Structure 1
């Protein structure tokens, strides 16, 4: 297990969010990021602690060193930790003014079910990856 872990809170029934989780699992070779569905106990508690609606957050949450990051800043932080080309992608994302990138992110987040679909139940981890999930 990683020495220092960050927690990503995601929407467990959102198809796009589940794909993001798959992406994280595929690229986080160090096992730094733990994952918590917003529908679970840990996810709800973290969302509420960082001022986000636990019933329908407009963003996923990254908790790093006890501090919450949302929207494109959270995505960039995660990508930066993967290193290599993902660090470059994070730099390009952050080079785009927040005034442009965050409203685009929030629009997608608000319409995520209509655009990408919704599962009937939360995504379940593969047995080999279950240690990465908090609930």
Structure 2
């Protein structure tokens, strides 16, 4: 069991995706004060597996983490945001994350005006091409000593 502050949102991201790691850096630089800080974990991590298994069940957890039947991982297709007992994915997770940003970045919340099927279609298109456009790392990110408190083990 992973102990997480119930008021602290947890963002699970593809740890080998350069775009996703850039998003984590951006969020840490532009986070809004006065809200609980975001905590991060790679979808490939044991922490992510445990959190998702607890909140959405093992089968759904495997799908979100793109776990292969024989072990190992495929390419996770979504970031996942956990806030308390709620689990958000795809464009809904991204739009909820915008709440934690300072102005003018909060303007991204205007995306709520689009219907979810359209938002998710756009999200999935970017997710499918993210490695080709932004690159893929050989291993998951290792937080710096300054960042370590913001990442689950």
Superposition TM-score tier, normalisation by shorter sequence: 0.7 to 0.9
Give the Cα separation in 2 of the matches to 1:72 and 1:109: 11
Give the Cα separation in 2 of the matches to 1:85 and 1:29: 11
**Which structure's CA Rg is the greater one?**
2
Matches for 1:34-53 after TM superposition, within 5 Å: 34-48=39-53, 49-50=55-56, 51-52=60-61, 53=63
Give the Cα separation in 1 of the matches to 2:99 and 2:108: 8
Q: How many residues align?
A: 133
When you count helix as a share of all residues, which structure comes out higher?
1
TM-score normalised to structure 1 length = 0.86
Matches for 1:1-135 after TM superposition, within 5 Å: 4-30=7-33, 32-48=37-53, 49-50=55-56, 51-52=60-61, 53=63, 54=65, 55=67, 56-90=75-109, 92-135=110-153
Structure 2: segments with no counterpart, 5+ residues: 68-74
TM-score normalised to structure 2 length = 0.77
Give the Cα separation in 1 of the matches to 2:19 and 2:117: 23
Structure 1: segments with no counterpart, 5+ residues: none
2:71 counterpart residue number: none
Does the 8 Å CA contact 2:91/2:123 hold for their aligned counterparts? yes
